[in-house]
Amino acid sequence: MQLRYKTPEVITSVEGVKCSGVRIKGGGLGLVVCDGKAAGVFTTNKFKAAPVIVTENHLKKGYIKGIIVNSGNANAYTGEQGIKNAIKMAELLAEKIGCSREEIVVSSTGVIGVQLDIKWIGSLFNSAYPQINSSRENSWKFAKSITTTDSFTKQWGVKVGDCVVAGVAKGAGMIAPNMATMLAYVFTDAKIDCEGIIKKVVKKTFNSITVDGDTSTNDSFILVSTEKKECDEKKIEEAIMHVCSVLAEMIAADGEGASKLMRVFVRGAKNDVEAEKAARAVASSILVKTALFGCDANWGRVIAALGYSDVEINENLDLDIVGCKWDAEDAFRGGKGFKVELIKNGKDTGKRSLASKLMRENEVVEYHIDLKVGNGKSCIVGCDLNHNYVKINSEYTT
pLDDT digits (tens, 9 = 90+) for 44-76: 888 999 999 999 999 999 999 999 999 999 999
C-alpha atoms less than 13 angstroms from C-alpha of 192 in its C-beta half-sphere: 29
Give the pLDDT confidence score for residue 388 in this predicted structure: 58
Confidence at 391, pLDDT banded by 50, 70, 90 = low
Position 174 confidence tier, pLDDT thresholds 50, 70, 90:
very low
Mean pLDDT of the chain: 92
pLDDT in tens, 328-384: 999 999 988 999 999 999 999 999 999 999 999 999 999 999 999 999 999 999 999
pLDDT of 386 reads 74
> What average pLDDT does this structure show over 312-322?
97
Q: Is the pLDDT of residue 148 over 70?
A: yes
Please name the helix (run of DSSP H) or strand (run of DSSP E) that holds residue 88, with its range, or none: helix 79-97
First to last CA, the chain: 24
Closest CA to 42 of 215, 300, 164: 215
What's the pLDDT at 29? 98
pLDDT at 204 over 90: yes
Note the pLDDT of residue 77.
94
More confidently predicted of 243 and 178: 243
- Does 214 score more than 60 pLDDT? no
Asked if residue 170 lies in contact with residue 21, where contact means CB atoms within 8 angstroms, the answer is no
Answer for the pair 187, 165: CB distance below 8 angstroms, yes or no.
yes
pLDDT band at 254 (very low <50, low <70, confident <90, very high): confident
Q: What is the pLDDT of residue 183?
A: 94
| All domains of the chain in start order, with CATH | 11-253 (3.60.70.12), 261-394 (3.10.20.340)
Q: What are the phi and psi torsion angles at 178 (to 5°)?
A: -120, 105
Contacts (Cβ under 8 Å, ≥6 apart) of 388: 256, 257
Q: Give CA separation, 379 vs 66, 97, 222, 240, in Å.
A: 34, 42, 23, 18
Kind and range of the H or E run holding 243 = helix 233-253
Catalytic residue list contains 181? yes
- Position 273 pLDDT exceeds 50: yes
Q: Do 352 and 358 touch, CB atoms closer than 8 A?
A: no
Residue 158 has pLDDT above 90, yes or no: yes
- Give yes or no for residue 260 having a pLDDT over 50: yes
Please give the Cα distance from 271 to 311 (Å, whole number): 10
pLDDT at position 179: 39
Catalytic residue from among 153, 181, 215, 226: 181
